[in-house]
Amino acid sequence: MRTKLFEHIASLFRSVKLTVVLLSLIAATCVVGTVIPQSPLAPEDGTTQISKLVASLRWCFRWHDIYRSPFFATLLVLLAMNVIVCSLKVFRRPTGRNVGWILTHASIVVILAGVLVGQLTGDSGIMKLYEGESSAIAERADGTELELGFSVTLEQFAIEYHEEPVERLLVLHGGVEQSFPMTVGRGHPLHDGSRLRIAERIPHAATHMQVADGDTGEINPAVRIVVEGNGRTSGNWVFAAEWKETRLLEGAVSVRYAWCDTDEAYADALSAAISPEKETLLVHVQGTDIVTALPVELGEAFPIDGTDYIVETVRYLPDFRKDDDIGEPYSASDEPRNPAVEVRVTEGDRSVNRWAFSRFPDFWRMHSDGKETALDLKFVRPAERVIRLVDLEGSGITLVRFNAEGAAEADLVQLGQKVELGESGWTIRIAERLVRPRFTLEATPSLDPRADPAVKVNLRRKDDAAENSLWLTPNTVGEMGQTKLLYSREFKPKQYTSDVTFVVDGRGTDRGEIKVNAPLAYRGFTFYQSSYGDDGGLFSVLQVKRDAGAPIVYIGFGLLCLGLLYVFYIKPLLAKKGNRTSGAAT
Amino acid sequence: MKWDLFLNLAFGVYILAEIAYVVSFFLRKRKIETPVSTLLVVGLSALTLSIGFRWAEAGHPPFTSMYESVVLFAWATTTAFLLMKRRGIPSWLGAPVTGITILALGYASLLEKTIAPLLPALRSNWLTIHVISYFLAYGVLTVSFVASAILLFGSTKRTDGADSNADQRAAQWDAIGYQGVAVGFPLMTIGLLTGAVWADRTWGSYWSWDPKETWSLICWLVYALYLHVRIVRGWRGKKAAFVSFIGFLLVLFTYLGLKYLPVALKSLHRYV
């Protein structure tokens, strides 16, 4: 009953020529899959009007998902058939000599069978869990839900770090970024011929800023203010840039400094300095750069530009007190011991009332009143003592202060001259004045074993004999002229562990641990520690898999290894021994 | 650092050995064989010590960065050559093999050497067997590659004009080429399969068509093809050598060239 066609096909499948062709085609298909980007879930091309032929070709070869294309699957099936037919030939005359062949080729069929079983019955998905969160569902790659039949709770997610951090020196020089290992004493040539050297490293360093006036460089005037009295001293640098306010003595003293190089500028600055400061409400829209300063005028409503919010200050209490969580707030006295304003924030037809405390600007970050608002409110009151400094280059510094009646008093002061702050017992003086201040970080060994290290880097430019040096602290950018340097110090993760509890049918809990390279099997599923992240909350990403074909594939792996070891290692060894025992080869 | 010192020592010894090979070629001195073998053994010992010290300092198997893999490649190639020499391959084959080793060590000296802490995904006992079996395979296949290159591109004619032995010599190269694949293919398979088992343990999938995985499979298929055409179809000489020659070029691409493929950026294997 065997037709000629059947004979042709049978002999084709019996031949190694087919094997050669199939192996080549499979290899070639694999190559294509690594050259054309694979995107298994790419949506169908929007182009219409493609001919039926092209459409069916595309379906068959599916080069964007080539490993799951009908073409590739067919190649694998043909290969399996080829092996099976050839093994029928071998089994017709089985001998001990064919053991190796049988093992190696049976393994191919077993592996392909295991893959098939896995494709048909297997399932996998991802679970993203925050600490404390539970879920009974994993998400498949195509977006559908995989129901586990039990719930998984992430009790805790822990990251263990390596003890030794990885340290590198990152350099941005002349537009080129380079990265070097942090080896002390090593010199590194930079791309333009300059030379960089890591001169020193202090394992635990104490750092402080040295300031000196430069002859060249940016004009960035600053004065060092010292407030003394009542057995205490407080001091700081105050910069002219942006008329920035600096507060001393726990906020009791406010200093602003303006530097002018023309008479006109001086006149403008002086008139700004002598106007009394008012209470302000700073409104910051969360997630944006929008910060608006509103005057505190009770009953007045102000819109916030760029948003739909309207802000109104409703009430003011100089000494805010509220007993427990019930009752209305009241003022315990008339002294501004705990000044607070009640602010109403309106958006459309929704409005929220909240108190802003001048002494506790971060109060609402730590406490919750259950109300939601996207605005950060900061109630800023003028300090008890307000000092304004107006500096006219070449003429001297004018100090403006406000007396008990609120009137401004302006006097020219000398460096080092002490000025009394009313009846408080405090005096203020300008200790130093720099127009082009140069700040250099200095580092010395510290006795504190928890102190961070510091490194000193030397840079010699190409045609320069002089060497400039700079101390760097971890993860803070330092600058040497146009060159930016970063001492990168990172603790790398060593292991991630998810502590989970499984709950079946609402009763009975099992605990388990999932680590990278140590998956956890539970009720037919296997859980893998895939990755993690932090988007405001720490979460663990678990891969969930069920694959009945995997054990079959592993058996196939074992057979393949055994077979190859037998054919290429053991058999030749036995043959050699055989030759020796049977005497000299004939 | 001890490992750096021994690596430089090994490098120096290999260069000496190569010089000895070149000198002996020009002076046609056969007696140089033993001293050169000794030099190679010394070089290999220094390399072994370098790897050992680095293993001790790192606290984990030193097979996880490009630098470490290239040093392992140099080690495996020398080991493969010395073992195959005992099986009877011509000892002067060591000249091109040592040349390749020197190139490898030279390349290593340009790479980032600092010991990096191990990523969680790499902390597994599978790392050692997967990497070592692959690199032993690469080492053996390198020797096989040299043989097939000689067969394909070398002249089997002697300067004295006698080419009656040409067929015999061609057969010898062919046999060496085959020997290499016969020893290397099972090792390569072990490397491939242990990689799959390890991937299953780490990422929950024994095969995900990652570019490195896929190209390893391509190499494996080509060498499987070589074995089939040689054993079953009886291909010999240049025909067979061509297949194994291509196979090794694919191995080189898989090892060193993948990073030039755009898809490789997303590969899970990117750290080597």
- Of the listed ranges A100-114, A416-430, B136-150, the least confidently predicted one is A416-430
Domain closes at, from B96, B118, B140: B118
Chain B residues inside the 8 Å CB shell of A16: 228-229, 232-233
Integer angstrom CA distances of residue A197 from A181, A251, A280, A441: 11, 44, 51, 18
Same domain, A387 and A419: yes
Q: What are the residues whose beta carbons fall under 8 Å from the beta carbon of A580, sequence distance 6 or more?
A: none
| Host domain of residue B217 | 128-155+165-272
CB distance A501 to A494 below 8 Å: no
A553 touches chain B (CB under 8 A): yes
Question: Same domain, yes or no, for B114 and B143?
Answer: no
**CB within 8 Å of chain B, chain A residues 65-104:** 67
* Of residues A340, A313, A299, the one with CA closest to residue A331: A340
Same domain, A440 and A469: yes
Strands A477-480 and A454-460: unpaired
Q: Is the distance from CB of A376 to CB of A352 less than 8 angstroms? A: no
DSSP state at residue B201: H
- For helices A16-35 and A70-92, give the axis angle rounded to 10 degrees: 150
Same domain, B236 and B149: yes
Residues 6 or more apart whose CB falls under 8 angstroms from that of A12 comprise A18
pLDDT tens digits along B45-77? 999 999 999 999 999 999 999 999 999 999 999
Nearest-by-Cβ selection for B233 from A16, A31, A496: A16
% of chain A beyond a pLDDT of 90: 44
Chosen for mutation from B115, B187, B205, B253 (greatest number of chain A CBs closer than 10 Å) is: B205
CA distance A527 to chain B (A): 8
Q: Is B160 contained in some domain? A: no
pLDDT at B163 over 70: no
Which tokens hold the place of A343?
Answer: 């602010």
* pLDDT surpasses 50 at A585: no
Label residue A372 by pLDDT band (50, 70, 90).
confident
Q: What CATH number is given to the structural domain containing B96?
A: 1.20.120
pLDDT at A584 over 70: no
Residue B62 counted as domain residue: yes
pTM over 0.80, yes/no: no
A27 close to B (CB below 8 A):
yes
Q: Is the ipTM of this complex over 0.95?
A: no
3-state secondary structure of A209: strand
Note whether A281 and A348 are same-domain residues: yes
List of long-range contacts for B163-166, beta carbons under 8 Å, 24+ apart: none
Q: Could you report the per-residue pLDDT of A332-361, keeping only the tens digit for each?
A: 888 888 899 999 999 888 888 889 998 888
CB contact under 8 A, A33 and B209: yes
Tell me if B123 and A67 make a contact (CB, 8 A cut-off).
no
Same domain, B214 and B174: yes
Pick the residue of A516, A555, A569 with the most B CBs within 10 A to test the interface with B by mutation: A516
Is the pLDDT assigned to residue A245 strictly greater than 70? Answer: yes
Nearest CA in chain A to B209: A67
Q: What is the rounded CA–CA span in Å between residue B219 and residue A543? A: 30
> Does B132 share its domain with B48?
no
Listed in sequence order, the residues at least 6 apart from B119 whose beta carbon sits closer than 8 Å to its beta carbon are A492, A493, B271
Average pLDDT, chain B: 89
Q: Is residue A542 part of a domain?
A: yes
Per the CB < 8 Å rule, is B197 touching A554? Answer: yes
**Residue B10 covered by a domain:** yes
Residue A72 lies in a domain: yes
B-contacting residues in A 154-173 (Cβ below 8 Å):
162, 164, 166
- Specify whether A558 is located in the same domain as A541: no
φ, ψ (nearest 5 deg) of residue B9:
-60, -45
Collect all residues with Cβ–Cβ distance below 8 Å to B64 and sequence separation of at least 6.
B116, B118, B122, B127, B271, B272
CB-CB: which of A31, A553, A565 is closest to B186? A565
Question: Based on the structure, what is the number of domains in chain A?
Answer: 4
Same-domain pairing of B108 and B61:
yes
pLDDT for residue A219: 87
Read off the pLDDT of each residue in A155-174 and give the average, rounded to a whole number.
92
Inspect the interface and report whether the beta carbons of A516 and B120 lie closer than 8 Å: yes
> What residues of chain A lie within 8 A of the CB of B218, using their CB?
27, 30-31
Domain with A311 in it: 222-434
Mutate to test the interface with B, among A116, A492, A568 (most CBs of B within 10 A): A568
Q: Is the pLDDT of residue B177 over 70?
A: yes
A24–B225 CB contact, under 8 Å? yes
